[in-house]
Amino acid sequence: MFDRAKNLSSSVRAALRLGRGGRLLRRFRRSQDGVVVVEFAFVAVPFFALLFAIFETALMFWTNQVLEESLSQASRSLVTGQSQYRYTAANPAANATKFRDDVCAKAPMGLIDCAKLSVDVRTYASFAEAKTQTSGSNPVSGGTLDTNSFTYVQPQRNDIVVVRAVLDYKLFLTSWASAALANIGSGRRAIVASTAFRAEPFTP
């Protein structure tokens, strides 16, 4: 009789231990503490990589827009003939440098690195000639940037003028995001802006 009671007591204690273990297991299964942290750890790397890629692309397009607008504003002096009095150096390179500085001065917040900017000002007899000549002189070719042929030609009245500006732009990221944007070497992209117009019939 005593042995039966002892065995029964052992069974009860075992059942109680099993019950406590089962409750602990059920509590563990129901617990959601830390799940968000674990899930975020899985998606954090691709999320931030995508976020930085968006910032990189947006900043590059913004710089491109700023360059185009600055070039358009600086080119007004070429349209109206004011360039006849502003860019008067005998050396075309000196005139190109001064015109480049005027383009940079139009850019807000110093967004354009003037030391990395090259400009080309040329005149043509017709728009057809301008299209033919410029189509074969792309400064970006084969993953390299070549602006050695860039010069400055003083526009005269009624000339067809083509103005180009090329910025050697340094990308901020050095990951797969910048690799997709780079076109002149690792972490660098040539941003090109251009405008074409006929000069006004100004009096020289």
Residue-wise pLDDT for 107-138, tens only, equals 987 789 999 999 999 999 999 999 888 877 88
| pLDDT value of position 118 | 97
Q: Are 124 and 133 contacting, i.e. CB atoms less than 8 angstroms apart?
A: yes
Q: How confident is the model at residue 185 (pLDDT cuts 50, 70, 90)?
A: confident
CA–CA separation, 195 and 109 (whole Å): 23
| pLDDT value of position 111 | 81
Q: Looking at the domain assignment, is residue 112 inside a domain?
A: yes
180: containing domain: 65-198
| pLDDT value of position 30 | 56
Q: Looking at the domain assignment, is residue 15 inside a domain?
A: no
| pLDDT value of position 15 | 45
pLDDT digits (tens, 9 = 90+) for 48-59: 878 888 888 898
pLDDT at 193 over 80: yes
The more confidently predicted of residues 29 and 117 is: 117
- Please give the average per-residue pLDDT across 147-171, as a whole number: 95
Residue 73 forms beta bridges with which residues?
Answer: none
pLDDT at 81 over 70: yes
pLDDT at 5 over 90: no
- Ranges of beta strands (E only) in the chain are 117-124, 140-141, 144-145, 160-170, 188-198
Rounded to the nearest integer, the mean pLDDT of the chain is 83
Q: Looking at the domain assignment, is residue 129 inside a domain?
A: yes
CA–CA separation, 98 and 119 (whole Å): 10
Domain count of the chain?
1
| pLDDT value of position 32 | 56
Q: Looking at the domain assignment, is residue 43 inside a domain?
A: no
Q: Looking at the domain assignment, is residue 18 inside a domain?
A: no
Q: Looking at the domain assignment, is residue 203 inside a domain?
A: no
The more confidently predicted of residues 34 and 97 is: 97
Q: What is the pTM of this model?
A: 0.77
